[in-house]
Amino acid sequence: MGVSQGGVAALRRRLDLLRRADLILSQVEDGRLLQRQFLALMMEAARVESGTLYLLDAERDELVFAVVEGPAGVAQALEGRRMPADWGIAGRCARQGRVIWVPSVEESRDWARDLAERSGYHPQNVLCLPLKAQERVIGVVQLFDRPPASPYSQTDIDFLSLLVNDLALKLENARLLSTSREMVERLRALLDVGVELGATLDRGHLLGLILEQVCRLLQTEAASIFELDEASGELVLCATTRPVPEELGTIRIPVGEGIAGWVAREGRTEVVPDVRQDSRFYPQVGEQTGFITRSILCTPLVIQEQVAGQEGIFRRRVIGVAQALNKRDGEPFTRADIEIFEGLARQAAIAMERVRLYRQVNDLFASALMALAEAMEAKDSYTRGHTRRVTDFSVAIAEELGLPPEEVHKVRTAAMLHDIGKIGMPDAILQKPGRVDEAEREVIRRHPQEGERILRPLQHLHEVLPGVAEHHERYDGTGYPRGLRGEEISLYGRIVAVADVFDALTSERCYRQAMPVEAALEEMRAQAGRAFDPHVLEAFFQAWEKGRIALSEPDSATPT
């Protein structure tokens, strides 16, 4: 039995539609464009003028109007809107996962009449086809107003189902690819933060990097970190992606107040889609900063610390909270957002605790070094306070030069130890009234090398040894002990040299009065390029003009 001409034409039409569908699915990369073009093809295949493509948001259990085609104004009224996943005829199709044909929508008890009123479009009939990937519904296609004169045949429905299945497969593959790329990007962000965590102790830099990643990965307008001040029982803002006017000072939130305070007290993550509907919201911070908060994802910063006296027993301690504010485009925070945010918050907590412990150990170490230096100075009233002042001056110069915190710390250590080589020198020389003779001066001139010898066995001080050994070198090469010139002298040595000489000039000696400050500054300026590195000396003068170098009550400096 032959095939009629009408049957041949219908077959050719379907083959052409399949070919075009394949082209759309294989060549169109933009997801929104693909959805729009494919719905248009579906409508052409069904011989209708209106249609809707819904995508299922499984996390929120909602159907999203992804693409709407129809009379003027319909798309504008509905596209992007959401409705419960079990609502309307489309919801029934999604729940049952099967094709539904409704010849008269007005007679259907499932018809979402309020949406029809909102859009102004009242269709006569609708065919609903589920988008299914691996037996899981991921969306629905609705095709409206099939001409009554040509009702759908089973062959028509089977063909349309075939097209929908091809679209579902493409959309699911695109979703999986997007999810994989997003996971890779988020894992890379965690890795980048982890690498940086091991490379620096600059807390501000680390927290800033973490918050930058939060805003980028979660697509939020802002993010911030509050540190718990246990003494006051308040959360103190310590990092934010938004500038805070200096006149506001420190921003604080009492623990237990606001959403952040609640999270700090309860120790668990909280998502607030609309802060206006939450009685815990603390508007004072927004009133201070001018930032309008709409939604919040807040999580505690938690560390595990050992219980004192109980080896192997740890307790969970909240040290602050992190906030992500205002998801862009009004979208809600997702489970994936929460997971990556909690991961970044864990790294923030590790960074804060690591820096705190480092500072604690460093402060103890610095106190021990200063105690040693001051014990050495106590041998002679003319040396008291010299080390502390030289250290303060050196740090001010280093910061004015823009050195990173790690380098400033090394300069501080070198300055504290710069005269440690005098500890073994005879009291008769150090305490001698009046000027020392040449032989005694030679003994004193050995103290940079002696200090280097004393400190060399301490492995963790090796990087600062040049500052101890070279603080009496001169930029023109006429200094001691090695006669180094220019940048042969370490930067630490060049910095400490300026600080040491300024303190010596402005302090009283046993054989002369302290030089007036203006005269001392003129003498320092005259030695640019001779005794001092001009760049370092300029940083000294800049720090002086800013009040970062100030003279205390004049003590004295030992003869050098």
Per-residue pLDDT of 50-86, as tens digits, reads 999 999 988 889 999 999 998 888 888 888 889 999 9
> What's the start-to-end Cα distance of the chain, in Å?
119
**Residue 525 pLDDT > 80, yes or no?**
yes
* Phi (first) and psi of residue 144, to 5 degrees: -105, 150
The architecture that CATH gives domain 5-178 is 2-Layer Sandwich (3.30)
**H helix intervals, 64-138:** 74-78, 88-96, 113-119
Distance CA 356, CA 362 (A): 10
* Structure tokens that stand for 508 in this block: 């009283």
Select the highest-mean-pLDDT range: 176-180, 286-290, 425-429.
Answer: 286-290
Q: What is the mean pLDDT of residues 464-484?
A: 93
Peptide bond into 481 cis (omega under 30): yes
Query: Across-strand partners of 324?
Result: 223, 297
pLDDT digits (tens, 9 = 90+) for 221-266: 999 999 999 889 899 998 899 877 665 567 888 898 889 999 999 9
* Helical H segments across 28-73, by residue range: 31-46
Residue 257 CA: distances (Å) to CA of 38, 150, 253, 292, 443? 51, 66, 7, 18, 66
Q: Check residues 431 and 275 and name the one with the higher pLDDT.
A: 275
**Distance (Å, whole) CA 9 – CA 301:** 68
Using CA atoms, how far apart are residues 34 and 24, in angstroms rounded to an integer? 7
In DSSP terms, 320 is beta-bridged to 227, 301
Q: Is 178 exposed, middle or buried (0-12, 13-18, 19+ CB in 10 A)?
A: exposed
Average pLDDT score over residue span 184-195: 70
Q: Give the pLDDT of residue 91.
A: 93
Let me know if the fold of 5-178 is the same as that of 378-545. no
Largest CA distance in the chain: 130
Secondary-structure class of domain 378-545 per CATH? mainly alpha
Q: Taking residues 91-95, what's their average pLDDT?
A: 93
> Residues 164, 129: contact at Cβ < 8 Å?
yes
Is the backbone of residue 253 left (phi > 0), alpha (psi -120 to 50) or beta?
Answer: beta
Predicted local confidence at residue 278, as pLDDT: 87
Q: How far lies 340's CA from each of 218, 264, 272, 296, 299, in Å? A: 8, 19, 17, 15, 11
Tell me which residue of 130, 124, 135, 156 sits closest to 47, measured CA to CA: 156
- Determine what percent of the chain is predicted with pLDDT higher than 70: 87
In terms of average pLDDT, the best of 99-103, 168-172, 194-198 is: 99-103
Long-range contact pairs involving 174-180 (C-beta distance under 8 Å, separation at least 24): 174/31, 174/34, 175/138
Give residue 423's pLDDT band: very low, low, confident or very high (50, 70, 90): confident
| pLDDT at 301 > cutoff 90 | yes
Cα dist from 11 to 3, 23, 129, 292, whole Å:
10, 18, 22, 59
Cα–Cα distance for residue pair 227/264, rounded to 1 Å: 10
- 360-406: per-residue pLDDT in tens? 777 777 777 777 777 666 655 556 688 889 999 999 999 999 999 88
Report the amino acid identity of residue 273.
P
Backbone angles phi, psi at 294, to 5 degrees: -110, -45
pLDDT of residue 385: 81
pLDDT at 554: 45
Residue 88 to residue 94: CA distance in whole angstroms: 10
For the chain, the structural domain boundaries read: 5-178, 200-355, 378-545
The per-residue pLDDT of the chain, averaged, comes to: 84
Residue 25 is predicted with a pLDDT of 75
Confidence of residue 322 (pLDDT cuts 50, 70, 90): very high
Q: Which CATH number fits domain 200-355: 3.30.450.40, 3.40.50.720, 3.40.710.10, 3.40.630.30?
A: 3.30.450.40
Which of 184-193, 418-427, 461-470, 496-505 is predicted with the least confidence, judged by mean pLDDT? 184-193
**Is the model's pTM score more than 0.95?**
no
Tell me the two tokens of residue 130: 């589920």
Reported confidence tier of residue 100, pLDDT bands at 50, 70, 90: very high
